[in-house]
Structure 1
Amino acid sequence: MPGTERSEAGDKIYELILTAIRFEIELMNARVNWLLTSQAFLFVPLVIGAEGRPIGQSPLHPHIPLLGLALCLLLTVSILAAALRLSQWRSKLRGTAYADEQTPSEFSGVMRNTPLLHIMAAAGAFGVPLVLISTWSWILLS
C-alpha cells in the first residue's frame, strides 16, 4: 500500500513486478513484429500474382486479403491481452510502497506514473494492426 514501509521483501516484490511489466511490453512488441512479418509475406504474392492486372483480378484475391485480416484480428486480440495484463501489473505496482508520490525522490528507480506516456507507447501496438486491417479491407472491397 502507498505509505507502507519499504523492506527487503518489498524490494523483491517490486523487482518481480517490474520484470513482469518488462515481459508484457516485450511480448506486445514481439507480436507486432510477428504481425508485420506475416503481412509482408502476404502482400508480396498478392502483388506478384496480379501480373500487371488490378489486385482484385489476382488469382489469389480474396484468399490472401482474408488471411491477412484473420491474422490481424488474431494478433490484435493477443496484443490486447498483453496490454490488459500490463495494466494489471501497473495497477499492482501502484499498490507498493514505491508508488508513494509524496516521496518519489527517495528511490531514484521509480518515476511518477505518467498515463499519457503509456498511451503513446501503446499507439504503435494498436495502430499497426488497425492500419493493416484497414488496408486489407480496402483491398478486399476494391
Structure 2
Amino acid sequence: MIQVEAPWWIWYLTLSTLTLILLAVSSERKRSLSLKEYSRSLDYGLEYGFGESNELPTTDLEGNPLDIDFIRLRRSRILWSKISTALYSLLMVTSSSTLLLTQYEVLQAPWWVGLASVAFIFCSAYLIGRTWKLLKEG
C-alpha cells in the first residue's frame, strides 16, 4: 500500500483550484440567467435594473401580472450571484493564506512580507472590482 504525504500547501492549492473552477461555473450560470432575465424583461417591456432588490415586480408597466417563471428566474439569478460572491471570497482567503503560509514556512520570510503580499492581493482585487464596475456603467 502506497501512502502519499503531500505538504500542507499542496492541499491549499488544490482547494484554491477547485474553488476557482466552481467560481467559473457559477459565474457562467449567473451570466446565462442574467441574459435570460434581460431578454424576458424586454418581452414584458420592463425597465428596471438588475440589482439585488428584494422587491420583485409582479406586474408589468400596464398592470398585467408577470409570469411566475420570470420571478423564479430573477430569484435564481440573485441566488447564483450570491454563490459567486461567496466563492470569490473563499478563493481570496485560500489564496492569501496559501501565499502567507508559503512565504512564512517555505521561504522563511519575515511575517510582514507575507502580510504585505496578502494586503497587495486584496487591494488588487478591490481595484479590479472597482474598474469592472466602472466599465460596466460606462
TM-score (normalised: structure 2): 0.48
Structure with the larger RCO, 1 or 2 (CA within 8 Å, 6+ apart): 1
Compute the TM-score of the two structures, normalised by the length of structure 1. Answer: 0.47
